[in-house]
Amino acid sequence: MASDILVVDDEIDIRNLIAGILEDEGYEVRTAADSDEALAAIGARRPQLIFLDIWLQGSKMDGLQLLDAIRAQHSTMPIVMISGHGNIETAVSAIKRGAYDYIEKPLKADRLLLAAERALEASRLRREVESLRTKSGEFQDLIGNSAVMNQLRSTIEKISPTNSRIMIMGPSGSGKELVARTIHKKSLRSEGPFVVVSSASITPDKMDEALFGAEAKPGQDPSVGALEEAHGGTLYLDEIGDMPLETQARILRVLVAQEFNRVGGSQKVRVNVRIISSSARDLQEEVTEGRVREDLFHRLSVVPVRVPALAQRREDVPMLIDYFLRQTAENQGLPRRIVGEDAMAVLQAHDWPGNVRQLKNNVERLLILTRDGDPNDPISADLLPNEIGAIVPPLSSQAGGEHIMALPLRDAREIFERDYLRAQINRFSGNVSRTAEFVGMERSALHRKLKTLGIA
């Protein structure tokens, strides 16, 4: 996506010259002759960079006043001043007031392009640092080598470079947002912003403003909404089913018309944004029950992507654990640890209703709890929190401890074998060969055993 640059200068020749040089390099350029036009252009859509003439003759505000006015509303907007020959001092004072750089007249194409590149790069880096900071280093590769994860990865490769809208479905904590970030990173918009709007963290009455922004009210600054913020990049709508129906209707209108009004505003804002949305619930059901608009659902899920629950890809658990152990050790300055085989078996057999997020939290907790132990000792199963449970899930009620004591050995053993093998089969996602290898039986013998015990 080409960056959107606004050139503000009262001299038409200068405006055209700068616009021509920038457009030749593939930038998208808009121009303004005075402060009113400039503020209107910024109001219509926030640019990614502004070239601003210091003098600005015949304008309500001169360049420095306009600089202050823009920065008051958009404190992080990169602005490069255009300075006349001999007023370098003013240019320097503009930098003190928050301009990013200045270029001198007569203009030189290479200096102009260099200034544009640097300012855009600095602003991109600032966004990246911010997003890394807020995510506290959470951006990471998609870990996992199971068949379903490999399938997911190849889907991501195919759909990322297209501009199509994507609906990601999967249970909470399974990695939907990470998949969305990966798609963005591999798309042609990767240099643009990735903006998240999460229904969980915004109250319904604030949702419209969060998405569309709001026009300035007396005594208040205007607010830039997520759609505008995501111009040139990707907007991730987390839990679309939790958005108020009126907001859904407004999103639909944006998708149809490609433009929208800020809350309380009458001016149309045009943006170029790819929308990726997500849902942890069955959206078809949400549609049937009237919580999601059917027309919106069809427009948003041009390409549906499913992220499987962790319990459906247990093979990935050891790799994820290893990854989180390394990551946590690095982030917290703790020694690296390894997980013992007994603990690994328990962790792999667990059902993880909170999916990868729950696994990650547990690994972090384990590493912190065992920080005083000998780093060379593998973390053993007895250190796992109770809720993770033992490898044999709580025995079915009719086979509780006391009952077992009332049974002959043969029957008690059968109950144990059934629970044990069921858990092992689960752990290896139904793969009999790998289960047989682990429990130390011939494949055919295990088959017979499973049949006798009535395990499908």
Ligand X SMILES: Nc1ncnc2c1ncn2[C@@H]1O[C@H](COP(=O)(O)OP(=O)(O)OP(=O)(O)O)[C@@H](O)[C@H]1O
Residues contributing to the site for ligand X (CB under 6 A): 138, 140, 142-144, 170, 172-178, 238, 280, 356-357, 360
Task: Report the alpha-carbon distance of residue 188 to residue 161 in Å, rounded.
Answer: 6
Report whether 376 contacts 335 (CB < 8 A): no
What's the distance, Cα to Cα, between the start and end of the chain in Å? 53
Q: Are 227 and 260 in contact (CB under 8 A)?
A: yes
- Nearest of 151, 197, 202 to residue 177 by alpha carbon: 197
Beta bridge partners of 195: 235
- How far apart CA 185 and CA 139 sit, in angstroms, is 11
Distance in angstroms (rounded) separating the CA atoms of residues 129 and 136? 10
Report the C-alpha gap between 71 and 432 in whole angstroms: 64
Tokens of 284: 């078809």
Residue 235's DSSP bridge partners are 195, 275
d(CA 413, CA 426): 20
With contact defined as beta carbons under 8 Å apart, do 96 and 115 qualify?
A: no
Crossing angle of the two packed helices 63-73 and 88-96, in degrees rounded to 10? 10
Q: At what angle do helices 204-212 and 245-257 cross, to 10 degrees?
A: 20
Q: Let me know how long the chain is.
A: 456
**Helix, coil or strand: residue 47:** coil
Q: What tokens were used for 407?
A: 């049974």
CA distance 92 to 116: 18
The structure tokens listed for 246 are: 């009126």
Distance of alpha carbon 243 from alpha carbon 240, whole angstroms: 6
Using the structure block, give the residue that is written with the tokens 């960079």: 49
Residue 174 sits at the vertex; the CA angle it makes with 242 and 301, to the nearest 5 degrees, is 50
* Separation of alpha carbons 14 and 11, rounded Å: 5
Whole-angstrom distance, CA of residue 376 vs CA of residue 70 = 57
